[in-house]
Amino acid sequence: MQGTRQPTSPPAAYSPTDRTVPTRSADRASYDKELVHAILDEAYVCHLGFVRDGAPVVLPTLFARVGETLYVHGSTGSRPLRMTGEPDPGLPVCLTVTHVDALILARSAFHHSINYRSVVVFGRPRAVESEGEKNAALEAFTEHIMRGRWAEVRWPTPEELAATNVVALQLDEASAKVRTGPPIDDEEDYTLSVWAGVLPLRVEPGAPEADPRLPTGTPVPDYIADFDLSKRNLP
């Protein structure tokens, strides 16, 4: 009797490629999907790089992850971003995000560094044309900025959707790179009487500042007043 085929679990890691294997400090690279997703989900801005008319272009822009798809946001007036998704699939791109976690102060100038977490994604994006998928992408952008916001705000009109450019990039070729720990000095420099160590850097939200045109007495929603970057509930 033939057994029942069990569903195959998706791989827990991305497959390394020539482009995602670092040429330096390869030991800091990771292809673990959970780590890649966590670094992406914590970032608000990505940098999208591609070649246009023989010259490099790098655009800082908003993005959001939905499963294994990154949605990149822009205006239909942005010709470079529009070009990345046309024709379908569009131009080869490189998308990056980086978090700076600490300054690394070594005993020598040469070994100063930073502790960081970064992700690099390669691929060919496609233009998001359907109103349904574009609306879902805008919901993802809004929720990525502030979880719980989509339920309260006015949703996009057909005219606003038409004026918004969204491209989708699959997470097929991706890697993370992370540095942690203290300085790594030359052995002979450890005897120098120079302070060395790690200076952590953190991004923390301040107190909410109301729009001047907000009616007096409008309460600050709990999800804003209690916002904690370290506890963002992301996909």
Q: Does residue 196 sit within a domain?
A: no
Q: Does residue 192 sit within a domain?
A: no
Q: What is the mean pLDDT of the chain?
A: 90
| 28 vs 36: CA distance, rounded Å | 13
* DSSP secondary structure of 65-102: EETTEEEEEEETT-HHHHHHT-SSS---EEEEEEEEEE
**Inter-residue contact 152 to 163 (CB < 8 Å):** no
**Inter-residue contact 110 to 129 (CB < 8 Å):** no
Residue 2 has pLDDT above 50, yes or no: no
Q: Does residue 201 sit within a domain?
A: no
Looking at residues 68-92, what average pLDDT do you find? Answer: 75
**Inter-residue contact 76 to 152 (CB < 8 Å):** no
**Inter-residue contact 68 to 170 (CB < 8 Å):** yes
CA dihedral of 67, 68, 71, 72, whole degrees rounded to 10: 140
Looking at residues 26-36, what average pLDDT do you find? Answer: 94
**Inter-residue contact 106 to 184 (CB < 8 Å):** yes
Q: Does residue 163 sit within a domain?
A: yes
Gyration radius from the chain CA atoms: 22
Residue 5 has pLDDT above 60, yes or no: no
Tens digit of each residue's pLDDT (9 = 90 or more) over 124-150: 999 998 999 999 999 999 999 999 999
Number of structural domains in the chain = 1
Of the candidates 62, 56, 98, the one whose C-alpha atom is nearest the C-alpha of residue 80 is: 56
Tally the C-alpha atoms within 13 A of residue 67's C-alpha that lie toward its C-beta: 7
| 185 vs 192: CA distance, rounded Å | 11
Q: Does residue 235 sit within a domain?
A: no
- Specify the pLDDT at position 231: 73
- Specify the pLDDT at position 235: 60
Q: Which residue has the higher pLDDT, 5 or 50?
A: 50
**Inter-residue contact 126 to 85 (CB < 8 Å):** yes
Q: Which domain holds residue 174?
A: 26-181+215-228
**Inter-residue contact 136 to 201 (CB < 8 Å):** no
Strands 45-52 and 93-105 come out as: antiparallel
- Specify the pLDDT at position 53: 85
| 89 vs 68: CA distance, rounded Å | 16
* Domain at 47, CATH number: 2.30.110.10
Tokens at 207, concatenated: 């107190």
Q: Does residue 16 sit within a domain?
A: no
Residue 4 has pLDDT above 60, yes or no: no
Tens digit of each residue's pLDDT (9 = 90 or more) over 143-174: 999 999 999 999 999 999 988 899 999 999 99
Q: How far is CA 207 from CA 7, 27, 61, 161, 226, in A?
A: 48, 40, 25, 32, 10
Whether cis (ω within 30° of 0) applies to the bond prior to 87 is: yes
